[in-house]
Structure 1
Amino acid sequence: MTERSTVVNTARAGGPPPDRQPRRLWGLVAGASLISTGLAAYEIAPASVTPLVQESLGVDATAAGLLVGTMFGTAVVASVPIGIGLDRTNTRTAMAVAVLTLFVAGVWGWVAGRSGDFRSVVASRVLGGVAYVAVWNAGIDIVSRAVERDRRATAVGIFTASGPVGFALGQAVGPLIAARFGWPAIFLAFNGLALLGLVLFWPTSRGLGHSAGDAPSLSEFGAVLRDRHVWLVGGLGFLGYALYLFVNSWGGPYLTREMGLSVAVSGLLVSVFPAVGVLSRTSSGILSDRVFSGRRQPVVVGSFVVAAPLVFGFTRLQAIPVLVAVLLASGFAIQLTIGLSFSYVRELVDARVAATAVAFQTSVGLAGAFVAPIVGGAVVDTAGFDAAFLLAGVVAVSGVALGWLAPEPAT
């Protein structure tokens, strides 16, 4: 791609040409990633202390799953409106507002948890869900516009790796925080990381926010939501996130209840499942950009092909080292799709509505994340862990079928 064509393509998105100062670019990616890491840790932390939450609040597994699923459910509803807003306003400012919102949600959840008010804890998680989806959509949008096409999937993959880093942090550190300060403290523990990220992100992102003068028309937004190819890639995100949240939410309780491990040890072991996403999500862009010459479909199909047998067989294994190996392998495979899908979907639409396409992908993908912990809890309550992991395996097989139908974006 020539410098002139890069400038023209970026101008269509209403922003400046891709930044050619590597230090500033990677400072931007690092700052955005730290913000997202703090939010992701806050998001998953209740899953790491599920038995403590159930005992303290007197709720069943389905209700406990709601503490994780609520944030994703909120994101499903809020993502597209927020994405449309990002295409009409400044993504840089949105990131700062989201960090402040996280602080409010964290304090609210801590107070509600200490008083035993389950409904108020859930309400605080709704507010946290708004902060989460604003950071996720704005981060992907601004990172995508800061780099050229041949490095875009790699840069976005690095940003999306903040999700598994945060999940691993929440899974591993959550039980330790709960043991020292009580489980409601998990809602306060990760805010400082998001603030540190904002300090790094703010100066390096100067000049990269959208201008309100470049607002797309309503018909352009509508075209995104009617695009069959956008829906196909959204479906892949739904299945990938459903698998990801199911294992994150119920892998730990399985190890505690069925394998006899402590909550702290189970959380530490399950943390390898999201943690390997640091490698996986970054690798997804490199594999697609370099190995498959920009093709996206081979990566997403391979993701589900590898994941399906690993998820199917999880509860049939008894050796802890083997279970950890399966968590690593399945976590790597599943997160290939998650890491790539956001670059994938924005390349299927006009650059002026790219943030809306990313928001749609977030909404559909997180619908899977919302459903999985709750449905998983219901299946565990009624039929046990074997049935729940069997259902997850069926989801993975469905991903293989959908991946075959997915299109390649035009270059």
Structure 2
Amino acid sequence: MSSHEGSAGSTSADGAGTADRAPWGLLVGASLIAVSLGAYELVPASVTPLLRESLGVGPSAAGLLVSVTFGTAVVASLPVGVVLDRTDSRRAIAAAVGLLLVAGVWGWQAGADGSYPSLLASRVLGGVAYVVVWNAGIDVVGRSFPADRQATAVGTFTASGPLGFAVGQGVGPIIADALGWPAVFPAFAASALVGLTLFWPTSRGRGRAVDTPTPTLSDLGAVVTNRRVWIVCGLGFLAYAVYLFMNSWAPSYLTEELRLSLAVSGVLAALFPAVGILSRVTGGLLSDRLFDGRRRPVVLLAFLVSTPIVAGFTALRTVPVVVAALLVAGFAIQLCLGLVFAYVRELVEPAVAATAVAFLTSVGLAGAFLSPIAAGALIGATGYGAAFAVAGVLGLLGVVLAWYAPES
């Protein structure tokens, strides 16, 4: 799906002018769908002790149930982006919601049967649904707002990710207690229908732009060989690695090391992604307003603040201090998680904007995929202290890379 930078009202593929229609309903509908996807993605982390006992798996295998959705996105994202640059993102989002419903029911049945391989396969299908909604949502939202509000709009859409994570962390144990842990999968899949009922009518005429040429293979190749694009993708990789490490293992750390209940640990851990609801919008606003459209200062700030907190997290032993650390670190790292998607779009031609977003999604989510698995292995071998220290090293690399990052 191509995008027309700076135009909130370009003519759509169905010939309808969209300049006279406010895009806020579209943004809210797309965000609600993405909230459901975010909750579905992370919810195994909120019930890890239950599923480990039920399925008889270790920490790495449990971590894989979270990571596999991101791993699927790593593989599928770039092909999805190429297709979106040639088709209709609106219909793609609707189809992805259908896939998510299938994945949710499949996961529920697999969990009830105690079949780890089948549950893992259902999560792969859910990962495909996720990457379609994420890339297509950023594509539609980015095209629907003018250039001076684009980072804010895209940041607002990406705030659906942490909101979904928070919902998954906080509500997952409640659903598991009432209906059994396998029920978390269809519950969050079905909730995507709420967003779709708002997104579908408000997105009419915005699914596909016709004022940019269809990209050639050479155009697409220029995206994946662009050095500036790679730098932003590297920043996305490091930020997502730190973010998913904290989301995946903070609940278990709070339960096993601080001896908090699973429900309390889930609520406290939910603070880390939940603060991103504000943070991701703030990142866009800071960039658009305070820094006059510059993206690099905000990204640098994100790593500078979050890195020492993550690295020293296991030194914090009292609940109020842990809560403060989760809030500050979660706010800081997520300042850049929405912004990088607006950032990378501005480094390429509008006709390949969706491909650039998809490429960033692929590289960035590689960090999300690898982080929980590697952390699980490290925790099993050396304990939580070393794992959090390694996450701090990743943050330090982010500081260095952000220092040398280009401006859009």
Coarse TM-score class (shorter-chain normalised): over 0.9
**1:111 paired to 2:106:** no
Q: Aligned letter for 2:21?
A: Q
Residue of structure 2 equivalent to 1:307: 306
Q: Aligned letter for 1:247?
A: M
Task: Check the 8 A contact 1:17/1:146 in 2, yes or no.
Answer: no
Residue of structure 2 equivalent to 1:62: 60
Correspondence list, 1:350-361, <5 A: 350-361=349-360
Structure 1 segments unaligned to the other structure (5+ residues): none
Q: Aligned letter for 2:121?
A: A
Percent identity, aligned pairs only, is 60
Correspondence list, 1:170-319, <5 A: 170-210=168-208, 214-319=213-318
Shift in Å at residue 191 of structure 1?
2.3
CA distance in 1, matches of 2:40, 2:272: 17
TM-score w.r.t. structure 2 length? 0.96
1:111-164 residue CA offsets vs partner (Å, 9 max, x unmatched): 000001000000000000000000000000000000110000000011000001
Residue of structure 2 equivalent to 1:388: 387
Shift in Å at residue 269 of structure 1?
0.5
CA distance in 2, matches of 1:80, 1:138: 12
Shift in Å at residue 232 of structure 1?
0.3
RMSD of the TM alignment (CA)? Answer: 2.0
Structure 1 110/6 Cα, relative in aligned 2: closer, same or farther at 3 Å?
A: closer
CA distance in 2, matches of 1:232, 1:286: 22
CA distance in 2, matches of 1:365, 1:16: 35
Residue of structure 1 equivalent to 2:24: 26
Which runs of 4 or more aligned residues in structure 1 lie more than 4 Å from their structure 2 counterparts after TM superposition? 4-18, 211-214
Shift in Å at residue 14 of structure 1?
11
Task: Check the 8 A contact 2:10/2:19 in 1, yes or no.
Answer: no
Structure 1 13/240 Cα, relative in aligned 2: closer, same or farther at 3 Å?
A: farther
1:296-344 residue CA offsets vs partner (Å, 9 max, x unmatched): 0000000000011101110001110100110000000111110100000
SS at match of 1:406: coil
Q: Aligned letter for 2:67?
A: G
Q: Aligned letter for 1:404?
A: W
CA distance in 2, matches of 1:28, 1:8: 12
Structure 1 7/110 Cα, relative in aligned 2: closer, same or farther at 3 Å?
A: closer
**1:124 paired to 2:155:** no
1:85 to 83, 86, 89: 83
Residue of structure 2 equivalent to 1:349: 348
Task: Check the 8 A contact 1:88/1:214 in 2, yes or no.
Answer: no
Task: Check the 8 A contact 2:8/2:19 in 1, yes or no.
Answer: no
Q: Aligned letter for 2:291?
A: F
Residue of structure 1 equivalent to 2:321: 322
TM-score w.r.t. structure 1 length? 0.95
Shift in Å at residue 21 of structure 1?
3.3
CA distance in 1, matches of 2:123, 2:326: 27
Q: Aligned letter for 2:34?
A: S
Residue of structure 2 equivalent to 1:72: 70
Q: Which moved more, 1:81-90 or 1:183-192?
A: 183-192
Task: Check the 8 A contact 2:77/2:358 in 1, yes or no.
Answer: yes
SS at match of 1:338: coil
1:16-41 residue CA offsets vs partner (Å, 9 max, x unmatched): 8774533xx11000000000000110
Task: Check the 8 A contact 2:7/2:147 in 1, yes or no.
Answer: no
SS at match of 1:190: helix
Task: Check the 8 A contact 1:15/1:211 in 2, yes or no.
Answer: no
Task: Check the 8 A contact 1:57/1:118 in 2, yes or no.
Answer: yes
CA distance in 2, matches of 1:259, 1:93: 47
